[in-house]
Structure 1
Amino acid sequence: MDVSVQSFPPATEVKRVGLLGAGVIGAGWATHFLRHGYDVMAYDPAPDGDRVAQQLVAAAWPTMERLGLAPGATPDRLEFAPSLEVMAGRVQVVQESGPENLETKIAAFAELDAALPAEVILLSSTSGLAMTEIQVRCRHPERTVVGHPFNPPYLIPLVEVVGGRQTAPEAVAWAAEFYRTSGKHVLELEREAPGFVANRLQEALWREALHMVATGEASVAEIDAAITEGPGLRWAAMGPCLTFHLAGGNGGM
């Protein structure tokens, strides 16, 4: 590793967040960080990326006002960079939220890695790709970390954090502290796993739902109602493991 972990700035002192990609997820991150009082600079290569992001943030902002804003929080603190290089020179951390395509992620991280100082942590919103694969062309892979949110990031607290094979443990810890400071609930994974945790669990339920529809055992509407009017309410408060543990009676399961 070419960079000393001591060179990472304190996560609690970050004030300026960079975003690569300002679509639905990127704009959702922008809304979250803006609400919590950060300055945000976004770069999106799409011709109408700036306009779309501004519309998405504006649509969500009344809800942010009702939930409560950090001192000085305003959508006016969102800027758009004319290039990745301009953004790289102005921010203290970058959250990448580009298309969920491995080659696209590899290229984006290689470009970010080349443009940013070695002490700037690079975060990816990938919903299932391994950071070990994304970081292969980075000169400083030790500072690359997955920070997978759930949509919309400004409403759903969870962010799953995990590094790749070449990621420094200190970078993972830094990312977790940064997200907690920004108001997220962090699930720090011990190691990479396909689909991380939450999507892995969702996929298991989704497979069974598709099977039941295909075999005529239940309709789409019935399956949705079975969750929203049943265990989904409990899971939101306790999760499936605690739910079954408590159902086991004295001593649990």
Structure 2
Amino acid sequence: MIAPADVKKVAIIGNGLMGQGIAQVFAREGRSAHVIGRNDDSLARARTAIEANIEAFVERGLHDRPKADAMLGQITLGTDYDAAADADFVIEAVPAVRDLQIEVFGRLDAICDPKVVLGSTSGQPISLMVDRMKHPERAVAMHFVYPAQIMPLVEVCGGSQTTPEVVQWACDLLTEVGQTPAVMNKEVDGFIINRLQFAVLREAWSMWANGIASAEAIDNSFKMTLGRRYSDTGPIESAELGGLDILHNFARFLYPALDNAAEPPAALTELVEAGHRGFKTGKGVYDWSQRDGASLASRRADRLFQHIAEDAEKG
């Protein structure tokens, strides 16, 4: 394998939101990023989105104009899979459909040098995607978090046939481009972040569906307490600071009462099936005609960019 520091050309399979963000991460650190998509129309939309995303960094003083122009110059787009053949590293960011992912890895395995590491940004085990590979030992999950150009952490997990050297290589490459790897010791559906996120969502949706509290009360309770605390200390750190004896005792009391359903609540399913899918349709649990969703999304983006500035100050 090429040394991570020597990786100069990266190929990204998939030109959706995740692929766009990953391209920006590598271009930001001076790497050539070639995005491979399905057709010229979708690639044109991707290019426009990438330009807007980079401009958002300029507007907030996180990139100057020369930096932005240099990044745009590093990013190219095309539809030819063979363009990945001479890349130093390839990562797929296609929809999380197993048959499609198996096909992608099979094609990449056939055209890329066996020493080239092949990554997947899916939150699903990499072992599910290597059926058609002759060299599955070089496949590794590298789960970027949306939006990839803003979120610094990447979950890394090898499969049953991935070599330890490939896992370490992936971590070293991520560090080279300013990302923070979080290594998993074994494969599990959803990985770390989604499992934590959906544990919270299951309980939040359950309390709303069962009339325990309104959506607004639940959201405010999280934002004004746990959201602030977890920004600096993770859940296990927080428990350690609070005292394991105290949290352990309360867990024994509370665990039996927590929701453990294997399906989302019926009330939520009814909303989705009725076409009420949240902000994008104007209604979900909330009635978005009565709320300024655009301003809420903008405030969230501003806070995420603020974290980037704070991280830069810390060095």
TM-score, normalised relative to structure 1: 0.90
Distance 1:13 1:231 in 2: 41
CA contact (8 A) 2:18 2:146 kept: yes
- Take 1:124 and 1:68, find their aligned partners in 2: how far apart are those partners? 28
Segments of 4+ moved more than 6 angstroms:
69-72, 249-253
Q: Partner residue of 1:4?
A: none
Equivalent position to 1:75, from 72, 75, 84 = 72
Quote how far apart the aligned CAs of 1:249 are: 9.2
- Cα distance in 1 between the residues matched to 2:6 and 2:39: 31
2:107 aligns to what?
A: 111
- State the partner residue of 2:23: 30
Structure 2: gaps spanning 5 or more residues: 249-315
Within 5 Å, give how 1:212-223 maps onto structure 2. Answer: 212-223=207-218
1:81 CA displacement: 2.9
Is it true that 1:17 corresponds to 2:10 in the alignment?
yes
How far residue 221 of structure 1 moved from its aligned partner, in angstroms, is: 2.1
Whether 1:150 and 2:150 are equivalent positions in the alignment is no
Deviations 1:205-252 (A, max 9, x none): 111011101101122222222111211111011111111221229999
Distance in 1, Cα, partners of 2:210 & 2:222: 19
* Structure 1 unaligned regions, length at least 5: 1-7
Larger radius of gyration: 2
Distance 2:175 2:144 in 1: 13
Give, in angstroms, the shift of residue 170 of structure 1: 0.6
What residue in structure 1 maps to residue 37 of structure 2? Answer: 44
Cα separation, 2, equivalents of 1:145 and 1:250? 38
1:98 counterpart residue number: 94
The answer (yes or no) to whether the contact 2:98–2:129 under 8 Å persists in 1 is yes
Is 1:53 aligned to residue 10 of structure 2?
Answer: no
Q: Give the counterpart of 1:132 among 112, 116, 127.
A: 127
Deviations along 1:178-205, one digit per CA (max 9) or x if unpaired, are 0111111110111111211111111111
Q: Pairwise mapping of residues 165-244 of structure 1 onto structure 2 (< 5 A)? A: 165-244=160-239
Q: Do the aligned partners of 1:42 and 1:87 also contact (CA within 8 Å) in 2?
A: no
Aligned-partner residue type, residue 116 of structure 2 = V
CA–CA separation in structure 2 for the residues paired with 1:11 and 1:19: 16
Q: Is the 8 A contact 1:19 1:43 kept in 2?
A: yes
TM-score, normalised via structure 2 length: 0.73
Could you tell me whether the CA contact under 8 Å between 1:81 and 1:87 is conserved in 2? Answer: no
Contact 1:135 1:164 in 2 (8 A): no
Alignment partners' CA distance in 2, 1:249 and 1:190? 24
Alignment partners' CA distance in 2, 1:101 and 1:250: 43
Distance 2:240 2:84 in 1: 49
- 241-250 vs 93-102, greater mean Cα deviation: 241-250
Preserved contact between residue 23 and residue 52 of structure 1 (Cα < 8 Å): no
As a proportion of its length, which structure holds more helix?
Answer: 2
Give RMSD over aligned pairs. 2.1
- The one-letter code matched in structure 2 to 1:61 is I
Q: Give the fraction of aligned pairs with identical amino acids, expressed as a percent.
A: 31
Pairs aligned (count): 244
